[in-house]
Amino acid sequence: MVSYNQIAKLTYLSENKRKKEFLDLFLSLCKTNKLIDILHFIKTERFIEDNSNIKLLYQEKEIVIFREDFLLDIPEPSPSVHKINDFEILLDYPNIIDYTCKPMHCIQSISYNDEILTLNSNTDYNHIPKTLYDKLKPAISQYEEDLNNIFVYKIGDITSRFFLDIDLIIKIIYLAFVTSYKNIVEERLFLMKEYNFTYDAFDKLSFHEVRQHLTAAIKNTNERNNPEARRAH
């Protein structure tokens, strides 16, 4: 579960354009750097409830994105082994590496003479011979094509397609989890002041759970401050 406090931190980092810290925090929540797992995590965590939705301004009109409209046609992991000369290369959909996500990151590992080189940094990738990479390009391109078939959202004729770019991945995270930091601060303070919530309580509650508490709290406060409304009930 992504907690309310974690949403607050993501929002704060996003609003202050601290891109690397934002991505570090989100990857720590996902507990993976594998792109496919990250996309599944975003969809699952953002649409916890049946009526969960994302509101988006599109050409000066508001559109509402529901679970069935968001991150469509995500492929499943599809590891493949390719033997080139004395090398055995494991490919799959890419990982996020050093704040980037590029076609070369489809290369998961390279085996040579019973030794396995696991690629964990762009420095590791820079050691791959160009001649070897060129021979892998057709297979890597197939993974790219599969990713290009993903819809970020699709509502009737309104569509947004995925392509392999770290800024787009960050934008998708933003779309799913970033809200207004000012509103979050005000909401937390209201529940802490009026209903004795502790700061730590927001570590155990999702964004949607807090919204439910907040709706009930505002209703109760209004009734408490408006005797006529209370008698009407």
Instruction: Tell whether the model's pLDDT for residue 18 goes beyond 60.
Output: yes
In this structure, are strands 151-155 and 158-161 parallel, antiparallel, or unpaired? antiparallel
177 within 8 A of 7, measured Cβ to Cβ: yes
Whether the per-residue pLDDT at 228 is higher than 90: the answer is no
Res. 224 pLDDT band, cuts 50 70 90: confident
Quote the CA–CA distance of 180 and 206 in Å, as a whole number: 16
The yes-or-no verdict on residue 232 having pLDDT over 90 is no
pLDDT (tens digit per residue) in 103-121: 999 999 999 988 999 999 9
| Sequence-separated (6 or more) residues with CB below 8 Å from residue 232 | none
Question: Which pLDDT score is estimated for 50?
Answer: 85
Query: CB 18: neighbour CB atoms within 10 A?
Result: 13
Arithmetic mean of pLDDT, 134-155: 98
Q: Which of 214, 161, 160, 157 is nearest to 184 (CA)?
A: 214
pLDDT of residue 233: 52
Q: What is the mean pLDDT of the chain?
A: 95
Q: How far apart are CA 6 and CA 4, in angstroms?
A: 5
pLDDT digits (tens, 9 = 90+) for 162-182: 999 999 999 999 999 999 999
Phi-psi region of 111 (alpha: psi -120 to 50; beta: other; left: phi over 0): beta
The answer on pLDDT for 230 being more than 80 is no
Q: What angle do CA 103, 106, 109 make, to 5 degrees?
A: 140
Give phi and psi for 48, each to the nearest 5. Answer: -75, -40
What does the pLDDT average to over 185-211?
A: 96
Q: Please count the residues of the chain.
A: 233
Whole-number pLDDT of residue 227: 65
